[in-house]
Structure 1
Amino acid sequence: MAEFRYNPLLDDWTIVAGNRQSRPDMPKDYCAFCIGSGKVPDNYDVLMYENDWPSMKPIPDEPDDISTDFYKTAKSYGKAEVILYSPNHNDSIYDLSDEHVLKIINLWQERFTAMKKDKHIKHVLIFENRGKEVGTTQPHPHGQIYGYGFVPLRIKVELENSKKYYQQTNKSLILKIRDEELKENKRIIMQNDSFVAFIPFYTDYPYGIYIVPKADNLNTIEDFSDKQKYDFALIIKHMQGTFDTLFNKIFPYMMGIYQPPFNDKNYTDVNDYYHFHVKFFPPLRGENSIKWNASSETAAWAKTNPRIPEETAIELQQAYEKYKRSL
């Protein structure tokens, strides 16, 4: 059973997905995403794989009969998909050709467009969990796409602050952050014709990279030109290669692609003030040290960065130079 339960303290919904507790632990000698498993085609480059244990569905089950006059439940409308980056179990994105990574970008774009057509879906998050440090149990190269039947809390907060800034300045907040980083030029890690990657001034993760377009008119991945899609593929590829070069090992991270919500009357003017960007949330603060979100971060949302952003930016800049020499 999966359902949404409303949290009145946060004006947010919790996805209660009891069915996911039944997910089996896969044996180490079996991978459902590898060719020959019987779960995927005998030949593929990139692939959308229907999540075997979805927390949201286009045709959801009825919620349990547990709501009251105070506590509200709702059907868990949405979509949960897996995006397989490669048939090869041990590939990393930077192992793939530029053209292969472009196929991943095209599939992200295709699935985003398809999910938007469902009137019950309000927001789409393209994301990736990489490494055992963030709980990934399946190392086969893949990411996921969730289409939510509501606008999640973090997105609502960012939208509220972005709209407030736009009303005061007539400018996009995420683009202003980009421009400040380009002007200071202290925390820029890499850039190409279409995108720039940097550690923002305020990051709470020591290696918390943002990727932001250089153009001012990109709200969603649907807006990308062919050139911008290719450049996006390159910067995603080189960013992962730089991460792995930093400590000469698989670098764990959580990554999310942020885009405006849709199918929601509260955000009809959202394209004026909220623009496409990518955020990385890597849990490392050093080669063998984890930045844990402990009580202060979790209980009070009081974010703490144990490293100085300008110093970790230099580490990643040097790793990028070393990575480029290896190409």
Structure 2
Amino acid sequence: MKKTTTRLADGRELIYYDLRDDAVRDEPDPRPLDPVATAAEIREDRLLGDRVAIASHRQARTYHPPADECPLCPSREGRHSEIPADDYDVAVFENRFPSFAGDRGRCEVVCFTSDHDASFADLTEEQAALVLDAWTDRTAELSQLPGVEQVFCFENRGEEIGVTLGHPHGQIYAYPFVTPRTERMLGSLAAHRTATGGGNLFDEVVDGELADGRRIVLEGAHWVAFVPYAAHWPYEVHLYPKRRVPDLLALDEAARTEFPQVYLEVLRRFDRIFDEGDGERTARTPYIAAWHQAPLRAEHRGEFALHLELFTIRRTSGKLKFLAGSESGMNVFINDVPPEAAAERLREVASK
């Protein structure tokens, strides 16, 4: 991997990650851009303890542009995008419309490929490995920024999820606080440690799924993917390295090598869940893929287990799972698809 860091016309950082060591990245950004001005502030909900980012400037962000005006495609034939190069492998840059910025975190965009019509599932294993390298490198770099407490790499795919740019990409949020979801995990972890005299809840969950077997979707030498016992979403898969580590930086070479094989297979199965069996393919399955890493300064940090949670809001062909009264109003999920049935379906659509 070759890493090249440069700047866009408004001063934002742009990083290229190339498969070839001889790649040259010296294209300037000729656009007449004004410096990024953010109006974000973080407020705390006194009843729930949650933080909320108020970011009114994001109302002006790019919204469903035509393919020939995509800001994540390479710059070509006089059309200048966020990527000055005419081609790239993986590119990461500071978001022009960040939810968090300055001394209150940072937001980055990760472009997985220059191919506008591809998706992560279309990548080769070599390309997927490069994305993993980029996630890992950005986690390391963002962890060093003052005030950052947690680094979150994720991908939203599909208009149903709320994606406004069709180009295959993800994002990275460097939060200036520990997120509520992670706080709940840490609380459960601590309670289990106390109740069992030192046991690790993550280990118990993974070992329990392996022993049960009914919800296992895919198992490799170094990774295991399963539908959780109490899945919130119709089709939800959690992917864990078998050797517990707190973050992407701690993965060993064996796990890093196997990850693209396992993850690409899981993504490709997601795209086949709703096939009707008559040769007709449904639209690509909308999903969210979220890396859960240990907060940077958490007590007992080494007890946290890095894992990726992948889920779709589609519950059957042509129907979505809406977060209505119970889910949105009280955070009590009601799942229409039994986890065991979801796991069976994901095994049925394995690559031949």
Structure 2 length as normaliser, TM-score?
0.82
Summarize the alignment of residues 11-22 of structure 1 with structure 2, pairs less than 5 Å apart.
11-22=49-60
- Asked whether 1:314 is paired with 2:344, we answer yes
1:50 CA displacement: 1.6
Q: In the superposition, relative to structure 1, how do residues 190 and 244 fare at CA in structure 2: closer, same or farther (>3 Å)?
A: same
8 Å CA contact 1:244–1:250 kept in 2: the answer is yes
Q: State the AA in 2 paired with 1:46.
A: V
1:193 CA displacement: 1.2
8 Å CA contact 2:62–2:164 kept in 1: the answer is no
**Paired residue for 2:41?**
3
Distance 1:97 1:24 in 2: 29
**Paired residue for 2:253?**
226
Secondary structure of the structure 2 residue equivalent to 1:48: strand
Post-superposition CA distance 1:104-158 (Å, at most 9, x none): 0000000000011113000111111011111112121111100000111111111
- Asked whether 1:254 is paired with 2:254, we answer no
Q: State the AA in 1 paired with 2:218.
A: M
8 Å CA contact 1:172–1:275 kept in 2: the answer is no
1:289 CA displacement: 1.1
8 Å CA contact 2:64–2:166 kept in 1: the answer is no
Q: Which has the higher contact order (CA 8 A, sep 6+)?
A: 1
Post-superposition CA distance 1:48-84 (Å, at most 9, x none): 122110111134xxxxxxxxxxxxxxxxx00100111
Unaligned stretches of 5+ residues in structure 2: 1-38, 275-280
**Paired residue for 2:239?**
211
Post-superposition CA distance 1:175-207 (Å, at most 9, x none): 211111110100111121111111011101121
Summarize the alignment of residues 1-327 of structure 1 with structure 2, pairs less than 5 Å apart.
1-28=39-66, 29-36=68-75, 37-38=79-80, 39-40=82-83, 41-59=85-103, 77-169=104-196, 170-216=198-244, 218-247=245-274, 248=281, 249-262=283-296, 264=297, 267-272=298-303, 274-320=304-350, 324-325=351-352
1:24 CA displacement: 3.4
Q: State the AA in 1 paired with 2:329.
A: A
Secondary structure of the structure 2 residue equivalent to 1:242: helix
1:242 CA displacement: 0.7
Post-superposition CA distance 1:258-308 (Å, at most 9, x none): 01101x4xx232222x11011123101111111111011111111111111
**Paired residue for 1:74?**
none
Structure 1 length as normaliser, TM-score?
0.89
Q: Percent identity between the aligned chains? A: 29
Distance 1:47 1:161 in 2: 37
Secondary structure of the structure 2 residue equivalent to 1:117: coil
Q: State the AA in 2 paired with 1:207.
A: Y
Unaligned stretches of 5+ residues in structure 1: 60-76
Q: State the AA in 2 paired with 1:58.
A: G
Distance 2:243 2:148 in 1: 27
Q: In the superposition, relative to structure 1, how do residues 92 and 27 fare at CA in structure 2: closer, same or farther (>3 Å)?
A: closer
1:95 CA displacement: 1.8
1:212 CA displacement: 0.9
Q: State the AA in 1 paired with 2:206.
A: R
Larger helix fraction of residues: 1
8 Å CA contact 2:63–2:165 kept in 1: the answer is no
Secondary structure of the structure 2 residue equivalent to 1:209: strand
